[in-house]
């Protein structure tokens, strides 16, 4: 089951005004979507919501929503933060079944940089995507996908099909999608130098005959 339990209450007022009232009362407003039921305006006590958020297991994970004696597995899909105070302002939850197959983005990390011949020779790891879209049961969402860079040389390309995923979990994007490459630092510098030269030549006045 989910590690996090959110105790919610139903908001009587909806819209921007209702959200302001909730925040003034020490609550974080949100909306519960999904399933065959209508959306419901809900709220969670600010301190409880922050505690759940800072565990790092709220957004994009299976969470148990609790309302009185009723419980419902949900996925937290979106959390809006205040641009200045960085406090949670609003959230969206989606109803799911615990074993339901869902599509969700999971962080993609790379390890063993020191064991990559290409990186040891001055190459650069160019990351195209920092997360990968997966199809998996709602109660088996991995914390992350890790790719081992051991043995990778300059010019090597990492594609979605190269990622090692847990059992019962599949990529929800084309396997040929490039997620990262190992580029040569000297080649990149040459390209930059060539671009600078072209720019300078274009800007220079034509020589008189």
Domain that holds residue 36: 5-98
pLDDT at residue 14 in the model: 78
pLDDT for the residue numbered 163: 97
Q: What pLDDT shows up at residue 10?
A: 93
Residues in the chain: 209
Domain boundary among 64, 98, 132: 98
- Same domain for 61 and 110? no
- Considering the domain architecture, whether residues 92 and 42 belong to the same structural domain is answered as yes
- The Cα–Cα gap between 75 and 65 comes to 9
Quote the mean pLDDT of the chain: 87
Q: Could you tell me if residue 84 is inside a domain? A: yes
Strands 124-127 and 70-81: unpaired
> Which spans in the chain are helix H?
15-24, 46-53, 117-120, 185-203
3 state DSSP class of 120: helix
208 domain residue, yes or no: no
Question: 115 and 24: one domain?
Answer: no
The verdict on 143 and 91 lying in the same domain is: no
Query: Domain for residue 25, yes or no?
Result: yes
Distance CA 183, CA 177 (A): 17
**Domain end call among 47, 66, 98:** 98
**pLDDT, position 160:** 97
Residues of the chain under the 70 pLDDT cut: 1-2, 186-209
The per-residue pLDDT for range 36-90, each reduced to its tens digit, is: 789 999 999 999 999 999 988 888 888 999 998 899 999 988 899 999 988 999 9
Other beta carbons less than 10 A from residue 12's beta carbon = 9
Q: Are residues 197 and 114 in the same domain?
A: yes
Domain closes at, from 74, 98, 122: 98
Phi and psi angles of residue 13, each rounded to the nearest 5 degrees, phi first: -100, 140
Please indicate, yes or no, whether residues 176 and 115 belong to a single structural domain of this protein.
yes
| Gap between the Cα atoms of 166 and 141, Å rounded | 10
Q: Return the CATH number at 179.
A: 2.170.120.20
For residues 142 and 119, is the Cβ–Cβ distance under 8 A? no
**209 domain-assigned:** no
The DSSP code for 155 is T
Q: What is the CATH number of the domain that holds 69?
A: 2.40.240.10
Q: 129 and 166 in one domain? A: yes
Domain count of the chain?
Answer: 2
The answer to whether 164 touches 179, Cβ cutoff 8 Å, is no
133 belongs to a structural domain: yes
161 inside domain: yes
129 and 65, same structural domain?
no
Indicate if 94 and 125 belong to the same structural domain.
no
**C-alpha pair distances (Å), 70 with each of 52, 73, 99:** 19, 10, 19
- How does pLDDT run across 67-81, given as a tens digit for each residue? 988 999 999 888 999
Q: Is 142 exposed, middle or buried (0-12, 13-18, 19+ CB in 10 A)?
A: middle
Tell me what percent of the chain is helix, strand and coil, each rounded to the nearest 5. 25, 40, 35
Q: What is the structure's pLDDT at 202?
A: 52
Beta pairing class for 145-148 and 101-111: parallel
Q: What pLDDT was estimated at residue 209?
A: 40
pTM score, whole prediction: 0.70
């Amino acid at each position: 089951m989910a590690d996090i339990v959110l105790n919610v209450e139903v908001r009587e007022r909806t819209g921007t005004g209702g959200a302001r009232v909730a925040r003034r009362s020490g609550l974080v407003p949100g909306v519960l979507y999904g399933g065959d039921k209508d959306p419901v305006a809900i709220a969670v006590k600010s301190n409880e919501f922050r505690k759940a958020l800072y565990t790092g297991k709220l957004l994009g994970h299976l969470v148990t929503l609790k309302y009185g004696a009723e419980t419902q597995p949900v996925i937290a899909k979106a959390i809006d933060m205040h641009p200045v105070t960085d406090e949670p302002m609003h959230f969206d939850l989606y109803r799911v079944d615990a074993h339901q197959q869902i599509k969700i983005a999971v962080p993609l990390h790379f390890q063993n940089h020191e064991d990559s011949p290409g990186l040891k020779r001055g190459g650069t790891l160019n990351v195209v995507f920092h997360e990968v879209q997966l199809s998996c049961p709602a109660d088996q969402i991995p914390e992350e996908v890790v790719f081992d860079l051991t043995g990778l040389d300059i010019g090597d390309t990492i594609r979605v099909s190269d990622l090692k995923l847990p059992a019962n979990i599949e990529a929800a994007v084309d396997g040929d999608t490039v997620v990262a490459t190992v580029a040569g630092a000297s080649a990149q510098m040459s390209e930059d130098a060539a671009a600078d030269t072209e720019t300078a030549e274009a800007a220079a006045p034509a020589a008189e005959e």
